[in-house]
């Protein structure tokens, strides 16, 4: 989904010598993958993210997202981004800031309150919802940054040093959040100097230094909990919530829905549906290898 091909980036100031921030970097992040970028300060991580976000253009090479140039993708679909520094008016209160940012991200007015409340709950900001941003600790600022980036439900999420200043409890929240956000059509890119924690959070870590890729970690093998499967959900009451929890769900009529998710994502989604008051009558996997086609089924019917 994200592809950098032989990317170099040179900054040429009006005065002084030019500086090459990235040198012949190639990197791919597939849809459904959580990828990590690690390296020391000044390695080129922030420049790489700026190219993915469309803030900068490469001096040479290409940066494409879902097959199109990065800036065009961002202009068309948007992108969730958590920066190292929170640049918002300190007088804003949490709930008001998130509401404004949701509107700017294109969230429908009818969905804004629910999205904001979900983000506040998921990032443990309930007790802080009326606090002003200027009074936040670094830990709370990071959690707020994660909340504002996730409201719009974008297909690409970029996190720049989200581990800085996190308490043990907030780090565990981040781990749970990454698991909840993982989806077959979404790519998540996380940059951090903390290589060890990145290895726990992501499927693969690419290590860069002095603008070049030095090492790419092995792809984490898929487990039964992360392999996607088609499930049929029968809903007796509360079907209006299905799209919010499983955006790719397909209605089969009469309260029956088809969703393609991993077992882990299914369980998280089911808990969310139950919390919303949805009444489920059945959940069953669909085994496409043994389910007969209409033509096959007719073979056993006497005519």
Kindly state the average pLDDT of the residues 108-121.
89
- Tokens representing 40? 């020391």
Residue corresponding to tokens 């969703």: 259
* pTM listed for this prediction: 0.69
- Would the pLDDT of 230 be above 90? no
Q: What average pLDDT is seen over the chain?
A: 84
- Would the pLDDT of 258 be above 70? yes
The span from the CA of 143 to the CA of 120, in Å, is 9
pLDDT band at 190 (very low <50, low <70, confident <90, very high): very high
In the chain, where the domains are located: 2-216, 228-285
pLDDT at position 300 is 36
Q: Give the whole-number percent of the chain exceeding pLDDT 70.
A: 90
pLDDT at position 227 is 59
Q: Print the SS3 string covering the chain.
A: CEEEEEEEEEECCCCCCCEEEEEEEEEEECCCCEEEEECCCCCCHHHHHHHHHCCCCCCEEEEEECCEEHHHHHHHHCCEEECCCCCCCCCCEHHHHHHHHHHHCCCCHHHHHHHHHHHHHHCCCHHHCCCEHHHCCHHHHHHHHHHHHHCCCCCEEEEECCCCCCCHHHHHHHHHHHHHHCCCCCEEEEEECCHHHHHHHCCEEEEEECCEEEEECCCCCCCCCCCEEEEEEEEEECHHHHHHHCCCCEEEECCEEEEEEEHHHHHHHHHHHHHCCCEEEEEEECCCCCCCCHHHHHCCCCC
The span from the CA of 46 to the CA of 44, in Å, is 6
Pairing mode, if any, of strands 228-237 and 204-209?
Answer: unpaired
Residue 81, judged by CB atoms within 10 A of its CB (0-12, 13-18, 19+), counts as buried
pLDDT at position 146 is 85
Residues 59-106 have pLDDT tens digits of 999 999 999 999 999 999 889 888 877 678 888 899 999 999 888 888
228-285 under CATH 3.30.70.1150, yes or no: yes
- Would the pLDDT of 293 be above 70? no
pLDDT at position 289 is 33
Query: Counting every residue, how long is the chain?
Result: 303
Q: Which fold has domain 2-216?
A: Rossmann fold (3.40.50)
- Would the pLDDT of 134 be above 90? no
pLDDT at position 288 is 36
The span from the CA of 159 to the CA of 52, in Å, is 11
pLDDT at position 301 is 36
Q: Which of 9-13, 16-20, 92-96, 266-270 has the lowest mean pLDDT?
A: 16-20
pLDDT at position 292 is 33
């Amino acid at each position: 989904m994200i592809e950098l091909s032989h990317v170099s980036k040179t900054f040429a100031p009006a005065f002084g010598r030019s500086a090459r921030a990235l040198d012949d970097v190639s990197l791919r992040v597939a849809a459904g993958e959580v990828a990590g970028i690690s390296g020391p300060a000044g390695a080129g991580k922030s420049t790489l993210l700026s190219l993915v976000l469309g803030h900068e253009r490469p001096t040479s090479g290409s940066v494409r997202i879902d097959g199109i140039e990065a800036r065009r993708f961002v202009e068309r679909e948007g992108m969730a981004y958590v920066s190292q520094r929170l640049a918002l008016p300190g007088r804003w209160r949490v709930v008001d800031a998130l509401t404004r940012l949701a509107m700017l991200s294109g969230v429908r007015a009818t969905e804004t309150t629910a999205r904001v409340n979900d983000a506040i709950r998921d990032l443990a900001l309930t007790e802080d919802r009326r606090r002003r941003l200027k009074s936040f600790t670094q830990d709370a600022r990071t959690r707020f940054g994660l909340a504002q980036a996730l409201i719009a439900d974008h297909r690409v999420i970029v996190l720049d040093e989200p581990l800085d200043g996190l308490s043990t409890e907030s780090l565990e929240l981040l781990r749970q959040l990454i698991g909840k956000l993982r989806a077959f059509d979404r790519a998540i890119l996380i940059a951090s100097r903390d290589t060890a924690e990145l290895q726990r959070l992501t499927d693969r870590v690419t290590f860069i230094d002095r603008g070049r890729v030095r090492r790419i970690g092995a792809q984490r093998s898929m487990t039964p909990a992360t392999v996607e499967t088609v499930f049929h959900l029968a809903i007796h009451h509360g079907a209006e919530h299905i799209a919010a929890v499983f955006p790719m769900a397909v209605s089969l009529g009469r309260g029956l829905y088809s969703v393609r998710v991993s077992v882990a994502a299914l369980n998280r989604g089911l808990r969310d549906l139950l919390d919303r008051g949805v009444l489920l009558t059945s959940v069953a996997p669909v085994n496409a290898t043994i389910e007969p086609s209409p033509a096959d089924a007719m073979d056993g019917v006497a005519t």
